[in-house]
Amino acid sequence: MTDHDTSASQNIKYPHWQREFEAALLEDDPQKLRQLVDAAEAAIFLRSQALVESPEGHAEQQSISDAIRTLRAIQREKLGYPDWNKK
Amino acid sequence: MPKKRVLLVDDNTGVRSLLRQLFESEPDFEVSGEAENGRDAVEKAENLKPDVIILDLSMPIMTGLDAAPLLRRLLPDTRIILFTVQEGREVEQLARAAGIHAVVSKNQAASKLILQAQTLLASMEQEHHPTKLRSAS
């Protein structure tokens, strides 16, 4: 368990939000999933605020955009959020 | 001058809490309420009669885009700002069609949200009391 945790944390490139995001990806229970998605979104929002001031955050901002798309898909497909972009 | 009342609408309690801190740190705003989805916003707005509504886009039960026309009908003078992680022309167009006054990205500095709210309220004031502002300037 400790070994697993250590190796997982070594793969964390963006510690401000990536742990929360990956926890959401692994959760199946809808109630816990909603909490984890909310936590990931809040962490991403906070981090985005910090990156506004940073000239070197382009790669992380791209990863954040990808993470946001994934969170939106989870909200629609697993949490029953309505699709705002229905055509 | 009375403080401008703000209704915060976001399904994420963490984001709502940060927005509350942001608006309450400004002398000209007070947060009059929070709602966690579009339907909740419509129900609360009727009683709270806010000057500004900060509206998330993607929410359970009712999205910001679905709530906006109902809010406009209910409170035609209230200014609505869509505050979202979704960016781009498509969102801007959908927002405009829904009667939303401005779109601010969650990826921008949150202070832009305050600035946008102040700008919208100032332009509304000018529409309603053009002479007052002219004589003040």
Contact between chains at B107 and A64 (C-beta distance less than 8 A): yes
Tens-digit pLDDT profile for residues B100-118: 999 999 888 888 999 999 9
The rounded distance, in Å, linking the Cα atoms of B31 and B24 is: 7
Compute the count of residue pairs across chains A and B with CB atoms less than 8 Å apart: 58
Query: pLDDT (tens digit, 9 = 90+) per residue, A2-36?
Result: 444 444 556 889 999 999 999 999 999 999 999 99
Cβ contact (<8 Å) for A81 and B59?
yes
Residue in A with minimal Cα distance to B108: A52
Distance CA B59, CA B36 (A): 8
Enter the ipTM.
0.77
**What per-residue confidence (pLDDT) applies to B66?**
97
Q: Taking 90 as the threshold, does the pLDDT of residue A57 lie above it?
A: no
Task: Tell me the average pLDDT across B41-45.
Answer: 98
CA dihedral B12, B9, B105, B29 (to 10 degrees): -120
Min distance A19 CA to chain B CA atoms (Å): 17
Q: Residue A11: its pLDDT value, please?
A: 80
> Which residue in A38, A51, A72 is closest to B12 by CB distance?
A38
Residue B33 has pLDDT above 90, yes or no: yes
Q: Which of A61, A80, A85 sits opposite B60 (nearest CB)?
A: A80
pTM here?
Answer: 0.87
